[in-house]
Chains A and B, each alone.
Chain A
């Protein structure tokens, strides 16, 4: 079961690479949030109930509902055009993301390590690099926030892969911080939409030496 979920997660990464419309991106984020909910549920069923409920709520409420809803609100409020306007064609993106996934496979299998779960590790690395790739190749600011969310999801999978030893209070702090930083990124993306004509990184070029 867990393998199916993780593979579905990886497929969603390829889908992100070829999706054209921003709303599709947000749907993919919702989908990934739901998958992470499932993975966390199966993985963490044995930890203490308070911790489990917290992680499950975090994945379902924050990752799958609150953040996507908020991003969608920003999309509508700023009348952001539907296309995500990449610097490279979608075909190239699909090829690159596929290469990223293949690379993660090779990388993981060169590490001889018994303490980590290989599949988790592959998926996490792929998500990290896909997120970075999205940030680099997309022009819209809102897409950068979405890329950051993909990275964040990758880190979540990674933390499941290594089996976090962090106590509850630390986890709470980390999750809250991530949530606040995403909200802040969203708020500022919103402001950029108000101040500049277009939500485009090309507009953010005046601070330089």
Chain B
């Protein structure tokens, strides 16, 4: 199935690029969405069965596949909306859709891969396809954003490769032949500490560019700001998951070795620094898309804290990622509408949003509570569980520090969101533009309601899958 899926996606991508016709685009995208869902359901039905040697749908991969398939449907829908409102040349449209399809396919393959090298190959492919998306508008600023994104991601992915080579050294000492994750986990205790530490450092640093963590988070910020909003939604959610899965797979290997304590410290440091950096920037940035990009850095920091603390933290981390991947796209889709109304992404130019688009304003108000993890939001549950795990791990001072930082973030977001909703824009009101139909806000409502529902009443199958995903980690 993976083979069919990858070749199908490649074919659809090429056709989208070649056929510069609106009807053909719609049919091909629909075909791809069906293909994506077929893959997801097939892999779910065949849990843990290896296909094509290098792909195994384990629980974590299946969870992220479902998240990707759910997010990609509204992302494609909003791409259509985007192109009806901002007409581009057919060639540029075709390129955009093709890049979206290739991005989806490489993300799916990277989730499913069970080999260190294959993960590398597909994560690199996500960089290449994402760069086409970021460059879509072909202006000076997008060029700058794309250049920085490709360059930092290329350097990071080279770091991951060096990490893989160091793993090879450790693996040869232990007399193992290949780099499949299950084999590595099984033999982790035989691997040399020094090389394992070195490769973890390199691989972790490399994947932070995708996951949006300190130290390499900078690439993602410009990318999410400059990409068209449907692509920004993908970059801010499912692409961050691919960075996480890269880190998680290696973390799982080290969890069976003697350096586990040390890896937890690294994750903890990176998590705290990420939350700190996000707080500092969110208090002063005035561009709504950039604020949300930094909010992603903050949420990944919380995920890392949960992972480092262990215990219930693992469950909370995975749940937090799932919910975050639903909440963030909803916000990005909404920002697309704000940009259409005001022609600007600056907090100063946006105001009194209720007057212009009441559905969108309600989405924004709901999204504020969801993204800051206020009680009806599912993120509240996962964040609370992360805090509980940090408390149980005995890191009281870290907990206090993080809670103080999060308070600042809630304040910063509240100040900006309520300004957009209720207070007049600093400059003149924009003249009344076309009213945005309710149908374009439905997907945002669905995503936000998903976040609330999954948090409050998590489906039994999902809980089982999460527990299966973390079953190999020590308590």
Contact = CB atoms under 8 A, between A and B. Distances in A.
B417 to A, nearest CB: 18
B173 A174 contact: no
Contact of B143 (A159, A174, A185, A191): A191
Interface in A182-204: 184-185, 188-189, 191-192, 195-196, 203-204
Instruction: Give the most central of B172, B221, B226: most A CB within 10 Å.
Output: B172
Contacts of B290: 209
Interface in A101-157: 111, 113, 115-116, 128, 141, 144, 148, 151-152, 155
Contacts of A158: 162, 165
B143 A166 contact: no
A116 B169 contact: yes
A151 B135 CA distance: 25
Instruction: Give the most central of B124, B284, B285: most A CB within 10 Å.
Output: B124
Nearest to A158: B165
Given A177-B128, A192-B143, A151 B172 contact: no
Contacts of B284: 209
Given A173-B117, A204-B144, A185 B162 contact: no
Contacts of A192: 143, 147
B128 A166 contact: no
Contacts, number: 109
B168 A162 contact: yes
Interface in A160-174: 162-167, 169-171, 173-174
B154 to A, nearest CB: 5
Contacts of B154: 148, 181, 185
A60 to B, nearest CB: 21
Nearest to A151: B158
A185 B121 contact: no
**Chain B binding surface, main DSSP class:** helix
B395 interface: no
B369 interface: no
B165 A204 contact: no
Given A170-B117, A188-B150, A180 B128 contact: yes
B295 interface: no
Nearest to B169: A162
A128 B285 CA distance: 35
A133 B149 CA distance: 20
A196 B166 CA distance: 40
B118 interface: yes
B355 interface: no
A48 interface: no
A184 B168 contact: no
A144 B394 CA distance: 46
Nearest to B145: A207
B43 interface: no
Nearest to A159: B165
B88 to A, nearest CB: 17
Nearest to B223: A207
Given A152-B158, A174-B121, A141 B147 contact: yes
Contacts of A115: 169, 172-173
**Chain A binding surface, main DSSP class:** helix
B148 interface: yes
A195 to B, nearest CB: 6
B37 interface: no
Interface string B159-186: 0011001101101110001110000000
A176 to B, nearest CB: 8
A174 B140 contact: no
A155 B143 contact: no
Contacts of A159: 165
A3 interface: no
Contacts of B117: 166-167, 170-171, 173-174
B64 to A, nearest CB: 21
B121 A173 contact: yes
B155 A151 contact: yes
A158 B162 CA distance: 8
A111 B287 CA distance: 48
A170 B146 contact: no
Given A165-B179, A188-B147, 10 more contacts: A163-B172, A165-B178, A174-B121, A177-B157, A204-B144, A206-B140, A206-B144, A207-B144, A207-B225, A209-B284
7 contacts: A116-B169, A144-B151, A174-B161, A181-B128, A185-B150, A188-B146, A192-B143
Interface of B: 54, 115, 117-118, 120-121, 124-125, 127-128, 131, 135, 140-141, 143-148, 150-151, 154-155, 157-158, 161-162, 165-166, 168-169, 171-173, 177-179, 194, 221-222, 225-226, 281, 284-285, 287, 290
